[in-house]
Amino acid sequence: MKRELEEVRIPRETEARERARAVVLSAFAERETVPRPSHWPRIAAIAVALAALGAATLSSSGRAVLHELREAVGVKRAQPALFSLPAPGRLLVSSDAGVWVVEQDGSKRLLGDYREASWSPFGRFVVAARENELAALERDGDVRWTLARPGVRSPRWTGTDVDTRIAYVDRTGLRVVAGDGTGDILLVPGFRGAIAWKPGRPFTLAYASSSRVTVRDVEAGQVLWRSRVRPAAAPIQLEWSRGGARVLAATPRSLRVYDSDGGTPLDAGPGMDRIESAALAATGQAVAFVQVGDRLSSLWTIPRIRPDANAARRLFSGPAGFGQVSWAPSGEWLVLSWPDADQWVFVRADGRGVRAAGNLSEQFRSRSLPRIEGWCCAR
Mean pLDDT by 10 residues, the chain (379 residues): 40 42 40 40 35 36 37 84 97 98 97 97 96 97 98 97 96 98 97 96 94 94 90 84 95 92 86 88 95 91 82 92 95 97 97 96 97 88
Q: Measured between alpha carbons, how far is 229 from 231 in angstroms, rounded to an integer?
A: 6
Q: What is the pLDDT of residue 324?
A: 96
Q: What is the pLDDT of residue 232?
A: 65
Whole-structure pTM value: 0.80
Ordered structural domains, the chain, with CATH: 2-72 (no CATH), 90-376 (2.130.10.10)
Distance of CA 24 to the CA centre of its chain: 25
C-beta separation of 279 from 266 below 8 A: no
